[in-house]
């Protein structure tokens, strides 16, 4: 597999894992509890971690920081769009009462529309992708503590 296709495939995998997890929760009636959505963080973290390992293997360990960062961030964006698209269909077609059921856990005077919820979900997905991309690149960037790296110091 080309390394340029890795973000696409891993993004689809992350998004699909999150969607399947949500559907499994809905089978048991646990999808209304926002606590369980914290597992999506694990899907993003593990998926991006596996992506950068595969990316490093595809480049034989030599890649630029920004290339690894963008690969992980692209995968996160793709996963976010998949999750947001699924959730939009779920909110509007599959279970239109879900938003109202979820809001009764907090306050009843909110008048949220599906677009507002999807926008918030998308922002959370983008920020999660950004943070995990930065965190994982700290683990996988090339060290400057080598003879080659010391040539570039002042």
How confident is the model over 87-130, as pLDDT tens digits? 999 988 888 887 777 666 555 556 677 888 889 889 999 999 99
CA dist., res. 73 & res. 128, Å (int)? 9
| 149 within domain boundaries | no
| 154 within domain boundaries | no
| 47 within domain boundaries | yes
Q: What is the pLDDT at residue 105?
A: 55
| 133 within domain boundaries | yes
| 151 within domain boundaries | no
Which pair of tokens denotes residue 32? 């209304």
Confidence band, pLDDT 50/70/90 cuts, at residue 31: confident
| 93 within domain boundaries | yes
Instruction: Check pLDDT > 70 for residue 150.
Output: no
CA dist., res. 9 & res. 15, Å (int)? 10
Q: Is 28 helix (H, G, I), strand (E, B) or coil?
A: coil
CA dist., res. 102 & res. 97, Å (int)? 9
Q: Residue 54 is part of which domain span?
A: 3-33+40-142
| 148 within domain boundaries | no
CA dist., res. 103 & res. 100, Å (int)? 5
Q: How many domains does the chain have?
A: 1
| 150 within domain boundaries | no
CA dist., res. 133 & res. 76, Å (int)? 9
């Amino acid at each position: 597999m080309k390394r340029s296709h890795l973000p696409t495939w891993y993004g689809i995998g992350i998004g699909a894992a999150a969607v399947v997890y949500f559907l499994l929760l809905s089978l048991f009636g646990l999808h209304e509890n926002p606590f369980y959505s914290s597992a999506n963080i694990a899907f993003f973290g593990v998926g991006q971690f596996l992506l950068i390992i595969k990316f490093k293997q595809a480049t034989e360990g030599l890649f630029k920081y920004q290339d690894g960062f963008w690969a992980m961030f692209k995968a996160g964006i793709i996963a976010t769009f998949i999750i947001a698209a699924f959730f939009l269909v779920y909110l509007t077609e599959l279970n239109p009462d879900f938003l109202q059921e979820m809001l009764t856990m907090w306050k009843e005077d909110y008048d949220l529309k599906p677009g507002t919820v999807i926008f918030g979900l998308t922002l959370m997905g983008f920020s999660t992708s950004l943070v995990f991309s930065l965190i994982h690149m700290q683990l996988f960037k090339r060290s400057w503590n080598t003879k080659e790296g010391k040539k570039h110091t002042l």
